[in-house]
């Protein structure tokens, strides 16, 4: 008889479309339910609500039971309510989806490990480290380094007290950092929140059948400090050489930096389209018709980027155009397959490089790996 997994995920927020880890957790939970598991979710510090919500959220046609606890409640109140909900659900496993800033506004959730031990008495723990600490960049400020050391102490305390049976992270860099803290973590790939759509409107199918244009797409938050001026000038030069670029399309909630990108792009004599927030189906269509994806996430952190995961799932090579961000030499990691790092002067070489793209990290495949890791502990 197949073992039915009973698990409650714990995350910070579950506001659809506003919290990447919340969206990730909802999709993973929905896939696990589809596979026959019994799954619930608790949002332990939800900034998006004004009152407690004990209800369900839909993932496709599946209903996921959840408890959302507003952040204005005291930690004691939130944990008491969460404890009652967990005891009623009676899971075998609790899965902590860890981002330090999800549980404290300064990313310093002191006391969290002690509360979680009480919350999960008699349960087995899984921890997914989505983020670790600030100050990893070799150019980090003294403040960031000291801040990061405090966050590292909290993580070590968390692992020591919870004694998780399984620890995962998405990133090779984070895996190495945890190893330096004597924490053994396995890699669990990030899947996309925007899978290739299976049901496009009929009028769009003809568009996809046309020859793929040389269009680039920038998706996700645009972080400041990227060398966009050098990048746009190199693109303009390659256009003059005959490597035709028809346009750059910026899509999604990209933040205030998109205005600066648009200004620089236009000044270089290049075409840009800003589409703003779109449905998942429309974003999928845009990616399906593009020839290159652009993100402003550093290449060393590409494995934890939802935008990168979305592009790779559409067989789209990705170019990281970011501010300087590198860990110490002994922690350097290679970007995942299909991802390139832009450095001023190397654009032509990047575009000429043959890319082998791994688009296998679907929610179905990742959920299977997740279940297998848990069943392997029995």
Structure tokens at 33: 């339910």
Report yes or no: 323 and 223 within 8 Å, Cβ to Cβ: yes
**315 exposure class (CB count in 10 Å sphere: 0-12, 13-18, 19+):** middle
Same-domain pairing of 170 and 258 = no
pLDDT at res. 101: 95
The verdict on residue 297 lying in a domain is: yes
pLDDT at res. 198: 61
Residues of the chain with pLDDT under 70: 1-2, 198-213, 244
Q: For residue 337, give the DSSP letter.
A: T
Give the span between the Cα atoms of 205 and 198, in whole angstroms. Answer: 11
Same-domain pairing of 245 and 130 = no
Give the span between the Cα atoms of 12 and 42, in whole angstroms. Answer: 8
Give the span between the Cα atoms of 313 and 287, in whole angstroms. Answer: 9
pLDDT at res. 261: 94
Report yes or no: 313 and 323 within 8 Å, Cβ to Cβ: no
pLDDT at res. 74: 94
- Please give the model's pTM, rounded to 2 decimal places: 0.91
What is the count of structural domains for the chain? 2
Structure tokens at 287: 């990616």
The verdict on residue 358 lying in a domain is: no
Give the span between the Cα atoms of 306 and 152, in whole angstroms. Answer: 24
Residue 170's domain comprises 6-191+363-375
Report yes or no: 23 and 16 within 8 Å, Cβ to Cβ: yes
Same-domain pairing of 213 and 334 = yes
The verdict on residue 230 lying in a domain is: yes
pLDDT at res. 377: 80
């Amino acid at each position: 008889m197949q073992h039915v997994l009973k698990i409650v995920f714990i995350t910070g927020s579950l506001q659809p479309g506003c919290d990447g880890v919340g969206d990730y957790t909802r999709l993973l939970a929905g896939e696990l339910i589809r596979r026959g598991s019994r799954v619930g979710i608790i949002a332990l510090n939800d900034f998006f609500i004004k009152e407690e919500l004990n209800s369900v959220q839909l993932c496709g046609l599946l209903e996921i039971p959840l408890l959302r606890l507003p952040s204005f409640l005291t930690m004691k109140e939130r944990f008491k309510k969460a404890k009652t909900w967990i005891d009623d659900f009676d899971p075998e496993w609790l899965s902590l989806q860890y981002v330090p800033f999800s549980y404290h506004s300064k990313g310093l959730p002191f006391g969290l490990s002690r509360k979680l031990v009480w919350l999960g008495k008699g349960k087995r723990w899984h921890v997914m480290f989505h983020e670790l600490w600030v100050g990893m960049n070799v150019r980090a400020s003294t403040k960031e380094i000291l801040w990061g050391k405090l966050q590292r102490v909290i993580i070590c305390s968390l692992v020591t007290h919870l004694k998780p049976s399984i620890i995962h992270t998405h990133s090779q860099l984070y895996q190495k950092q945890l190893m330096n803290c004597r924490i053994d973590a396995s890699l669990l790939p990030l899947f996309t929140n925007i899978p290739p759509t299976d049901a496009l409107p009929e009028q769009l199918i003809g568009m996809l059948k046309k020859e793929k244009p040389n269009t680039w797409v920038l998706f996700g938050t645009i972080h400041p400090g990227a060398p966009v001026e050098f990048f746009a000038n190199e693109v303009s030069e390659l256009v003059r050489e005959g490597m035709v670029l028809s346009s750059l399309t910026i899509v999604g909630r990209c933040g205030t930096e998109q205005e600066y990108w648009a200004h620089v792009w236009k000044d270089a004599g290049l075409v840009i389209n800003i589409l703003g927030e779109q449905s998942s189906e429309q974003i999928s269509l845009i990616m399906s018709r593009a020839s290159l994806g652009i993100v402003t996430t550093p290449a060393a952190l590409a494995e934890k980027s939802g935008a990168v995961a979305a592009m790779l799932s559409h067989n789209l090579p990705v170019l990281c155009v970011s501010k300087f961000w590198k860990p110490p030499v002994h922690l350097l990691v290679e970007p995942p397959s299909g991802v390139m790092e832009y450095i001023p002067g190397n654009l032509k070489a990047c575009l000429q490089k043959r890319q082998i793209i791994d688009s296998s990290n679907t929610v179905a495949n990742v959920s299977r790996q997740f279940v297998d890791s848990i069943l392997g502990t029995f």
